Homo-oligomer: A and B are copies of this chain.
Amino acid sequence: MQILLINPNSTASMTAQALRTAQRVASPGTVIDARTGKNTPVSIEGFSDEALSVPAMLADIRAAEEAGAEATVIACFDDPGLDAAREFAAGPVLGICQAAVQAAMVVAKRFSIITTLPRSVPAIEDLVLRYGASQHCRRVRCIDLPVLTLESEPERAFDLLLAEIARARDEDRAEAVVLGCAGMSEMTDALTAATGVVVIDGIVVAIKAAEALVGAGLRTSKANSYAFPRQKD
């Protein structure tokens, strides 16, 4: 099975990290087609960064499906262009925020999310509402660190995450914590080990959910909302 793993921003090292995470959990026989945004922002930190990354992503989805991809995972926690991607794609499209929120609703009754910058908090809150998880999500938190600093200062990021997970556990009584940025994925196991908290990474669960939906024989419904774009002159 071939899965497109698309990093909408243009930072190749983030794609590489996402790919390593995906390959670590992919089933035997799953091939990950990892792609990086072309001429898109170097990181997605706000609504316009999202908007500027979607057109290239749509082109990649089309290309990847023509090359055999059966499902798509968008490796950015803002789930940029998720509805549009589903319109372009024949296979199922997973956003890592939605996938993580759905997994969290299964393994815990209350969870918190920890993202990077404060400006991303309201955007993620809106996603939580849209995915029907408002009753389950205690709080969207942040460590006030730009996305790329996760890579440039990984130890500082790790310590900030440790402290924020502890706050989520103690102040929110969160029963699980969702990491709110694709760039945090390789810290997941160490964070779990250090805190004892169930920590959920969106790339991990989205790759597995993509395999699951393909294995279930499901494809994106082309009736109405997610029909392919209309052909126009």
Chain A residues close to B by CB (< 8 Å): 25, 27, 41-43, 45-52, 54-55, 58, 81, 83-84, 86-88, 92-94, 98, 102-103, 105-110, 118-119, 121-123, 125-126, 129-136, 146, 148, 169, 173-176, 189, 197-198, 200, 204-205, 208-209, 211-213, 215-221, 223-227, 229-230, 232-233
Contacts and interface: CB of A to CB of B under 8 A. Distances in A.
A42 B129 CA distance: 32
Contacts of A198: 218-219, 221, 223
A221 B94 CA distance: 23
A224 B197 CA distance: 11
A48 B56 CA distance: 11
Contact of A84 (B48, B118, B219, B220): B48
Nearest to A215: B208
Nearest to A125: B135
A88 B132 contact: no
Question: Which residue of A48, A107, A123, A208 has the most chain B CB atoms within 10 A of its CB atom?
Answer: A48
A223 B197 CA distance: 8
Nearest to A188: B217
Contact of A108 (B133, B226, B232): B226
3 nearest CB pairs, A to B? A132-B132, A208-B212, A109-B225
Contacts of A129: 135
A94 B102 CA distance: 11
B132 A126 contact: no
